[in-house]
A and B are shown apart, each in its own frame.
Chain A
Amino acid sequence: MSESATSGRLDQKRVRDWLSQLAAPARPMIRGTVAWGMAAGALTIAQMGLLAWIIHQAVVESVEVSELTVPFMALLAVLLARALCQGLQARYAAVSSRRIRNSLRRSFTRRLHAAGPVALGTESPATLAREWLDHVDALHGYFARFLPQMLLAGLVPLMILMVVFWLDWLAGVFLLLAAPLIPLFMALVGMGAEKLNQQHFRTISRLSGQFLDRIRALTTLQLFAADRRAADLLQERSDAYRRITMKTLRLAFLSSAVLEFFSSVAIAVIAIYIGFGLLGYIHFGPADSLTLFSGLLVLMLAPEFFQPLRLLAQHYHDRAAALGAAAELLDRLEDLPDKAVQKHENVRNADPGAGIVLDQVSAGFYPGQPVFSELFLTLESGSVTALTGPSGGGKSTLLHLLAGFLKPDQGEVRIFGLAPGEVRFGWLGQQPFLVHGTWADNLRLTTPDASDVAIETALRQLGLGGLIDERPEGINSPVSESGAGLSGGQGRRLSLARILVANYDLILMDEPTAGLDPDSEVYVIEALHKLAVQGKTLVFSTHQPALLTLADHILSVSGRGQVLDTSRGGRHYE
């Protein structure tokens, strides 16, 4: 138990260190936020000072209102300036948080790209998207509100304390007595808020979890006519959770009550001390020199002394939310490799004559369990290669190696004389990849400068002409009007159309005809045939006899990492 608590604390420290590392580039903006907050605090003191001075002048010195125009004007100016500083403080806070989040997203994206599709394949895209979008935004409150307020909660009370000391040191001592308590307050507020947050979030997440679970299962519940009972149970459970939560909260709320208590009592004690001092009942200390001005000012400053702390307590949930999200983000980022992505977007000169070479390649998904060891393989440019073999035998691994999605543990892969990934190529995966948008959008995603004619030709070649003819906008009509999407076969054909438009020299395909309806299959085989005739280098895994006849080489990839060229009388690659 204590061990897990220690590791929890260590973990939290690691997360906090990471957060402050993130904040480093925006440090000047955060300092700016604090500076404007300090200015607003100083102007608050000035405002209270002017109010107390005007009252003193009018009541004690009997100065006419008309002669007080200047201090009144000064007061208005101070109020305006204070509002301005508060606005600017919020603006600086918003800007600094925005910068931090943008740069975090940049590095997140970089790491996702470096990891590549194979490593990310096991993660749900929705989870990654939530982390990329929502978790990063959950850090906002921490950088914009909590972090600056943490400093302000120390600095502004200090400023007020100095003024009060100058006015009446005994009143200052009353506040000072509370001052050593401030770290204690912070800890108390922190602990209370932490507990509150944990308990609150746990209850909410349990409740939401139950609710979510029942909604997910609603159809099943309805099929068994159990939906009414489920609603009653939901009610019962949430009542039970509420009762448990409230028990904990009774204690957790005490910490904020302590803060409230100290600030109320400080005001009351100071008011009564000043009152008695003004009456001349107190014969020690500075009470003799109290005036209405200094008395009122001290009184009005007392609540302001505690105000920054109360704000900090309010911002504590920002911290809790940010720490939770940050812990998950940090885990994710540490899992992803941080290396520069190859900048193959500026294509280097490839030598298409050089063919494809795998030189002594060892590779696998887990260390110590290579799928291939010291594999040597050459494929000529313009050849068509089919990979066959049992599932799990390494066909996909070989394709991923050629694509550069998987880095070899040893040896080297050269595609047209360059490293994989330095050459653009076509990739046809098993899952159709569609973006929300028009047919043209979908094809221009990988080939931005494709002409309308080229796009339409490619779609027609794959038998998708009928779908675009139905629509008046042709290729500029949305792929799916209702969001229902295309069938699997149509999706595969769309992906292949993308490759046709792009005119790649190398095309890698993972089971291009698996699970297709007969219609789609014919179109896909025909398109591959056309690509082969055009002299493109094709590598695909397949079991389909029709595709095997298309191939110049058939490589049998077996489970023991052996690759056998069955089309040339069993030449062995190892």
Chain B
Amino acid sequence: MNELRPWLALLFRRPGRLLNGGLLMLVTLISGIGLLALSGWFITATALTGLLLAAGVQASINLYVPGGGIRLFAVSRTIGRYLERLYNHDTVLRLLSDIRVFLFRQLSEKPAAHRAAQPSSRWLSRFINDVDQLDALYLRLVAPPLLALLLTMLIGAVALWVFGAFTFLLVCGLLTVGLLVATLLAWRINRQRAGREDAQRDQLRSHIIEHLDGLAELQAAGRAGRHGARLLRIASQITRERASSDTTGAWVASITQLLVNLAVVAALWSGLALFQQDQVSAPLLVLLPLAVMGLGEIYSALPEPFSRLGATIAAARRINEQCLVASAAPPVRALPDGGAALVLDKVRLMKEQHTVLNCFSLCVNQGERVAITGRSGVGKSTLAEAIAGLVEPVAGQVRSIPLAFMTQNTVILEDSLAANLRMAAPDATDKSLWRLLEAVELQDRFSAEKDGLETWLGTAGRRLSGGEARRVALARVLLTPAKLLVLDEPFTGVDPARRERIARAVEP
């Protein structure tokens, strides 16, 4: 449960909204309960009066107060529900963005060297799934049990006041058991299954990807069918476990409802004894069981989220491990001596447990240009990443003036062209942006777009070819005020003639 603590703390940064939302839910629930209970009270009272009148006995009943009450509850339930849904939906969307912005800030505080330069898409989708699980925390796991408890106490107070201690103990005893079953039991009974389901699914997912990657080899060897059958077996096993945890959850829900209904019967049974001793009037006798029956609505909202609580906690644990663990700040890079821009001193670099460079030294003076060549896979990118500070050398030291780095992967944000460029220099003028676009031969391309600099890029917007994206990234890195530029394959996907022209154009 501790795993959820930071997230609950995040929720309670908006205590006002949570409280208002809770109150709206409370009003709606009380209206529902009140509508049924007051109607029962009214029908019983009128039935008795009707019998007296039919027997010729003078009797009267105030029709306006209960009638008005019934109408009021009918209206307040409708309006309450509408407002509650609207307000709480707004709250959920706010919490959603709170959680994401918070997580983003947490992640961005970690130095890049502690993270892979490009997170794998599997890591990302796992992470996004986990984050999604936290969204429902308030509306599903925090508010309903608190409201159920509050309403139980309210009805308990009425029972104690009107019906006495025995009825109170009986009804509240059953309801408390119901509350515990719907929350604690629902959680505990499915905790292990729900907690390990995601891990099993992840494992199966990588098996499926392996199967597809190796389909040629498997089919050649005549093993694809059997290997596929194994995947189907694992999938069926996971589905079976999920189905049985769903079924268990449903049994818990039906037991919860049974306990609420037993509390209804208990209220009626103990009330009848009091009624026959003339300690309670008939309308009040009917009011209590109907009020308890009305509690069913909020009780029935509890078991489902609580039987998935194990999975929610597991998701929170994974997120906490990835985002909340404080990591050491990156070492502050020393400046090189004299006129040097970059000094590598007996550097040893490792990649995937292989040494790619050992005892490597290099000194680059300001204004100097150095090309690093070599076969693919020998470690050019690792060296560039080490210079940029994305990779820590195992031994030796890197000293440099502030630098800008163009990574091998082209990263274009889903945002406007201007925003993508201004990432490097927030205060750059439109004119300087156009000048750089001209240098990388993209000016014509974007002046033809009707949105110009505001052209939206990325999957949702205008698709760029690989070469165009590369040139945007190049323009971006050229925009920085840094005096040292590290470019990892700056011209990937750009044709040779254009390379020449651009290289000349960006000449300092």
Contact = CB atoms under 8 A, between A and B. Distances in A.
Interface in A515-552: 515, 517
Interface stretch (A294-302, A359-367, A369-377): A294-302
Nearest to B353: A484
B231 A109 contact: yes
A249 B261 contact: no
A231 interface: yes
A280 B70 contact: no
A435 B353 contact: no
Contacts, number: 394
A271 B70 CA distance: 8
B218 interface: yes
Contacts of A390: none
Contact of B35 (A102, A267, A435): A267
Interface string B207-249: 1111011111111111111111001100110011001101101
A91 B96 contact: no
Interface in B411-426: 411, 413-414, 423-424, 426
Nearest to B81: A260
B214 A445 contact: yes
Contact of A446 (B119, B221, B275, B407): B221
Interface string B48-69: 1111011000000101001100
A226 B250 contact: no
A216 to B, nearest CB: 6
Interface string A33-52: 00000000000000100010
Nearest to A76: B265
Interface stretch (A150-158, A237-245, A451-459, A555-563): A237-245
Contact of B47 (A211, A231, A272, A295): A295
Given A65-B269, A296-B43, A86 B97 contact: no
Contacts of A268: 35, 39, 70-71, 73-74
B220 A508 contact: yes
B254 interface: yes
B250 A91 contact: yes
Contact-residue bracket for chain A = 35 or more
B18 interface: no
Contacts of A448: 223
Interface in B112-163: 112, 115, 117-119, 121-122, 124-125, 127-128, 131-132
Contact of B201 (A126, A133, A241, A253): A133
Nearest to A85: B254
Contact of A264 (B75, B131, B219): B75
B458 interface: yes
Given A55-B286, A87-B251, A117-B215, 7 more contacts: A55-B285, A82-B258, A208-B128, A219-B407, A220-B423, A267-B36, A292-B43
Interface of B: 31, 35-36, 38-40, 42-51, 53-54, 61, 63, 66-67, 70-71, 73-75, 77-79, 81-82, 85-86, 89-90, 93-94, 96-97, 100-101, 103-105, 107-108, 111-112, 115, 117-119, 121-122, 124-125, 127-128, 131-132, 201, 204-210, 212-228, 231-232, 235-236, 239-240, 243-244, 246-247, 249-251, 253-255, 257-258, 261-262, 264-265, 268-269, 272-273, 275-276, 282, 285-286, 289-290, 293, 352-354, 376-377, 388, 390, 404-405, 407, 411, 413-414, 423-424, 426, 458, 460, 476, 480
